[in-house]
Amino acid sequence: MTQLADLPTLSRLIREVGLSRFIQGLADTIHADFLRWPQFQKQPRVVNHSPGGVIELMPTSDGHRYAFKYVNGHPGNPAHGLSTVVAFGVLADVETGYPLLLSEMTLATALRTAAVSLLAARALARPGARRMALIGNGAQAEFQALALHWHLGIDEITLHDVDPHATQRLMRNLAPYPSLRLRPCESTAQAVRGADIVTTITADKRRATILTPEMIEPGMHLNAVGGDCPGKTELHADILRQARVVVEYEPQTRVEGEIQQMPADSPVTELWRVLSGEVPGREHAMQLTVFDSVGFALEDFSTLCYVHQQLQRHGLGRELALVPSLQDPKDLFSLTDPERAEHVQGQLPAYTGAQHDAAARHDDALDLDAAPGDCDYGTRRQPAARALC
């Protein structure tokens, strides 16, 4: 059986874990997986463009688990009462090919994007950063604000959006957090003035210049989150020319990120190299740093692993008969026979791969050897007959 994490389930899980702890745990898991970067099969996402938006598939594997995410981006959807971004994802066992988890990823994507922004800001922003400008106050803005407030010490955020109702909603939602000071601004230039960190997270599918060179101050760190497909940018190219630019996966970001405006040999550094300590993040206090964030499949892999682990720990989610469980694995036709189908539905496979055999002997023991980035971190080992639940 496959475990299902629908939106009500994930919402309940976040409440039980606590939003702050959930974001921190997710950031830790993503960080640990970035440190395993060479183990992952990497490729740019598979993209289908249309006049109104984009639909993408984001696959990756570490050889033990496989994951993909389906996600869209349709900026015109809110005018029709629909979300700009919706997503779902699958986590599967590589050895058998069986899906372990089918999960909503709309809310989860907002959480993982905030977690990655947190990791980048920790590595690239000046120590002691306290003030952030948040340009674009849409559906992901609250998560960005709280992640850096709780876990980086940001205590003042200036806000700007072309839609004042979005800013008003954001301020209402963050009102229960009095230690976070919020100040709406009439322009981007006003919002970014004096900021330590600037996060741009706008949705328009076009080449935009949300930030221009005259707005930039020495020592700023920019989390450029909104530009994530060809023809969609937020930063003036002259900003990139003067900055230390960090990306997730260079072949993908060259096509989709802010650096699509730059020559193919413009210098960039991949985030995993910074997080591993192989290269420095910020080199001096007055340096301008840019995290050109487009979203990469490894981050969704980490998210699905973390959700799967937390569902098991908290006893949430339900089993979904997504793939057949047959007494005779070759007798798929039996599912068309009402009498025989009743006997084969809902039964778990007896064998789920040799890699689980050792785990079957220790199903009551906590896996203390797993690292935070491992899918099995913090979970109880399951016997082979139950490993695909």
- Active centre residues (catalytic): 228
Euclidean distance between the first and the last CA atom of the chain, given in angstroms as a whole number: 5
Judge contact between 158 and 253, C-beta under 8 A. Answer: no
Residues found in the chain: 389
Cα–Cα distance between 258 and 236 in angstroms, integer?
A: 9
Q: Which of 33, 39, 7, 179 is nearest to 116 (CA)?
A: 33
Buried/exposed 80-91: b ≥16 CB within 10 Å, e otherwise: eeeebbbbbbbb
Tokens of 53: 């938006």
Where in the chain does DSSP place strands (E)?
2-5, 46-50, 53-61, 65-73, 87-93, 99-104, 131-135, 156-160, 181-184, 197-200, 207-211, 221-224, 233-235, 244-247, 269-270, 289-292, 318-320
Q: Is 2 helix (H, G, I), strand (E, B) or coil?
A: strand
Q: Which of 34, 35, 31, 49 is nearest to 256 (CA)?
A: 49
CA–CA distances in Å: residue 95 to residues 65, 126, 219, 274, 388: 8, 44, 48, 32, 12
